[in-house]
């Protein structure tokens, strides 16, 4: 098992001057389509509110895609970011953009086919981000969640963002259908096809993101955590004081789990 990205000498470098991030955005504009540029700006803005959890720290970006969230983490102060991604072409494109932007000394993207088994030692990352990725992992997801949690240091954080909430009654990710994601998988697929809300094959359906993630799916997969509540809105504060996870019914909640000190 490697400890790359956790405690090696390369991780001891100071994180880069923030003016270099503009170079990444220009590289992104020249390399990818407008949707990805918008996604990059959104994740930069979102992470800005939580940067106190990872600034100056070593971070794992689980399912990093083209490296947009890798760069967004660096923009908000992460010391060093390791990205993992099962799509080899995305790794090639993302690695090139990071290199061309001068960020190659502060991040690295790895192509890992099976992300349920990761080549890192226990407790080697201060912060782990899963941004818009867990919904694309077919159910059951417990082994993936357990593997991520294994890597978080005591007092470190695991953040899930831009993954749709399966408790919300409408699938706003894949089909835009009410209650479809509450049906059995094959029935949900047939309904989506019949109503012309999905056109790809069944194998693609499994990883399409049709069924999101729920709080109790996460909380029963990991242990020894403290939930960092999102209560910026009134409904969040009300639920929080009722002892209910504040974002439990949000269509796109932000779940942040702090690992208790062993």
pLDDT at 2 over 60: no
Q: What share of the chain is helix, strand, coil (3-state, %, to 5)?
A: 40, 20, 45
Q: What is the DSSP letter of 179?
A: S
> What is the structure's pLDDT at 244?
82
- Of how many residues is the chain composed? 262
DSSP-assigned letters across all residues of 95-151: HHHHHHTT-TTTEEEEE-S-TTS-SB-TT-EEEEEEES-GGGSPSP-HHHHHHHHHT
The mean pLDDT of 257-261, rounded to a whole number, is: 94
User: pTM here?
Assistant: 0.90
pLDDT band at 32 (very low <50, low <70, confident <90, very high): confident
Residue 165 and residue 251 in contact, taking contact as beta carbons nearer than 8 Å: yes
- pLDDT tens-place string over residues 154-210: 999 999 999 999 999 999 999 999 999 999 999 999 999 999 999 999 999 999 999
Question: How many beta carbons lie within 10 A of that of residue 19, not counting itself?
Answer: 7
Q: What is the mean pLDDT of the chain?
A: 89
pLDDT band at 148 (very low <50, low <70, confident <90, very high): very high
> What is the structure's pLDDT at 256?
95
d(CA 146, CA 115): 11
Q: Which of 160, 6, 147, 146 is nearest to 80 (CA)?
A: 6
Two structure tokens written together for 221 = 């997969």
Beta carbons within 8 Å of 138's beta carbon, 6+ residues apart? 206, 207
> What is the structure's pLDDT at 3?
45
- pLDDT tens-place string over residues 131-145: 999 999 999 999 999
> What is the structure's pLDDT at 90?
96
Q: In Å, how far from its chain's centre is CA 212?
A: 13
d(CA 221, CA 228): 17
- pLDDT tens-place string over residues 67-124: 999 999 999 999 999 999 999 999 999 999 999 999 999 999 999 999 999 999 999 9
Domains and CATH numbers, the chain: 9-166+213-259 (3.40.50.150), 167-211 (no CATH)
């Amino acid at each position: 098992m490697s400890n790359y990205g956790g405690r090696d000498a390369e991780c001891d470098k100071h994180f880069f001057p923030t003016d270099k991030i503009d170079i990444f955005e220009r590289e992104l504009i020249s390399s990818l389509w407008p949707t990805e540029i918008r996604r990059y700006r959104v994740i930069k803005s979102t992470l800005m509110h939580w940067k106190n959890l990872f600034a100056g720290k070593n971070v794992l970006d689980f399912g990093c895609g083209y490296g947009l969230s890798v760069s967004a983490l660096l923009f908000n102060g992460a010391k060093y970011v390791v990205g993992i991604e099962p799509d080899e072409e995305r790794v090639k494109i993302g690695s090139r953009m990071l290199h061309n932007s001068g960020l190659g000394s502060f991040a690295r993207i790895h192509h890992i086919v099976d992300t349920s088994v990761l080549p890192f030692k226990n407790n080697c990352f201060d912060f782990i981000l899963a941004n818009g990725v867990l919904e694309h992992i077919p159910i059951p997801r417990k082994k993936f969640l357990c593997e991520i949690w294994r890597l978080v240091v005591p007092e470190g954080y695991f953040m899930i963002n831009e993954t749709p909430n399966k408790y919300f009654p409408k699938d706003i990710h894949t089909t835009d259908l009410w209650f479809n994601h509450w049906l059995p998988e094959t029935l949900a697929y047939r309904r989506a096809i019949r109503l012309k809300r999905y056109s790809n094959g069944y194998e693609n359906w499994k990883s399409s993101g049709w069924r999101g993630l729920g709080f109790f799916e996460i909380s029963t997969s990991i242990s020894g955590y403290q939930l960092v509540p999102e209560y910026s809105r009134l409904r969040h504060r009300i639920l929080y004081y009722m002892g209910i996870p504040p974002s439990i019914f949000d269509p796109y909640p932000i779940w942040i789990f702090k690992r208790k000190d062993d």
